[in-house]
Amino acid sequence: MQVAFVGEALIDFTGSPARPLAFQGHAGGSPLNAAVACARLGVPTAYLTQLSTDLFGEQLLGHLQANGIDTSLVTRSSAPSTLAFVERGDRTNRYAFFTTGSADAAWSPQPVPRLPTTCRALHFGSISLLREPGATAITALVRAHAGRLIVVFDPNVRLGLIDDLPAYRERFDTWRRLATVLKLSDEDVAALAPGGPPVEAAAQWLRQGDEPGPSAAVVTQGGQGATLLRRGRPPMPVPAPAVTVRDTIGAGDTFGAALTVALLEAGVGTDADLQALDDAAWRAALEFAAAAAALNCEREGADPPDRSAVTAALAGRR
């Protein structure tokens, strides 16, 4: 493996305002969607979670394996699978999650898994950080590997699932300090630091001078594109490609995965590499990520593109 993802694996049942009770099931979960995106871009990918032995868990395991993802670190449990119901909207989606007592929330391997030396990046985040013992286990995994590889943190904030927002913001600060790269949506930032421009709030997290702390943050802003923030450098905005949006589920996950792929292919393997990356390499990585996310938006559900589709899309825009 070159990239490992840890977090929830669930079934998204998607509907629409026009047909609120007509739901279609898809394999999902933010980290899982990102892992699929990474694998489809041709990078050896592994997933860490606990899957149920119920019918949904079997479907999720099959989905991971069908996409060529290493599941050797996946454990199994008789606890139920996490389910999410999604109502699609024009700008954003509404979610209802069923997570109590679920298999992925109970993930707590002993000892903490040790990723192989071939692994160059670790992604974590999302609703997997909202339930115990999974949240503590994931934090321990990340802490055990921070400093050895690139750590990408995508909080994927879901306010409806957070019982104690001040406490969550405090824990976010812990997770932020473990990351090399922060990947945030404008909605994430608004939930974590309300009242100001999202890009400025994210920039403030970089300016806090934490050691080691993140070296870069990327704020995605839907159809307005994304903005890269780095310590001591001006913001770098990148526009979103113009596409006919069919569904936004998985777009942010695809962006984060594709960005990681592009950074690894640019030679990034440590925080020092990341800090040394020049503007041209960063822009190319961001454009690659934006193209992948845009292609996902043209499809139903989270359905990240493969490498050939992204390459063709970039070639057609030059």
In a domain, 232, yes or no: yes
Nearest in space to 102 (alpha carbons), one of 33, 168, 12, 10: 10
Examine residue 107 and state whether it is found in any structural domain, yes or no: no
What CATH code is carried by the domain that includes residue 146? 3.40.1190.20
Q: Give the model's pLDDT for residue 209.
A: 61
Single pTM value for the model: 0.94
Model confidence over 216-264: pLDDT tens digits? 999 999 989 999 999 889 999 999 999 999 888 899 999 999 999 999 9
Residue 3 lies in a domain: no
Residue 305 included in any domain: yes
Q: Residues 8, 104: contact at Cβ < 8 Å? A: yes
Asked whether residue 256 is domain-assigned, the answer is yes
Residue 19 lies in a domain: no
In the chain, how many domains are there? Answer: 1
Question: Residue 191 carries which side chain, given as an amino acid letter?
Answer: A
- DSSP per-residue letters across the chain: --EEEES--EEEEEEETTEEEEEEEEEE-HHHHHHHHHHHTT--EEEE-EEESSHHHHHHHHHHHHTT-B-TT-EEESSPPEEEEEEE-SS-EEEEEE-TT-TTTT---SS-----TT--EEEEEGGGGSSTTHHHHHHHHHHHHBTTBEEEEE----GGG-S-HHHHHHHHHHHHHH-SEEEEEHHHHHHHSTTS-HHHHHHHHHHT--SS--SEEEEE-GGG-EEEEETTS--EEEPPPP---S--TTHHHHHHHHHHHHHHHTT--SHHHHHH--HHHHHHHHHHHHHHHHHHHTSSSS----HHHHHHHHHHT-
Neighbour count for residue 5 (Cβ, 10 Å): 34
Whether residue 120 lies inside any domain: the answer is yes
Q: Band of the pLDDT at 86, cuts 50, 70, 90?
A: confident
Amino acid identity at 217: A
Domain range enclosing 210: 30-48+114-316
pLDDT value, residue 167? 97
Query: pLDDT, tens digit, for every residue of 17-68?
Result: 677 778 888 899 999 999 999 999 999 999 999 999 999 999 999 999 999 9
Query: Is residue 147 in some structural domain?
Result: yes
CA angle, 249 then 88 then 106, to 5°: 55
pLDDT for 220: 97
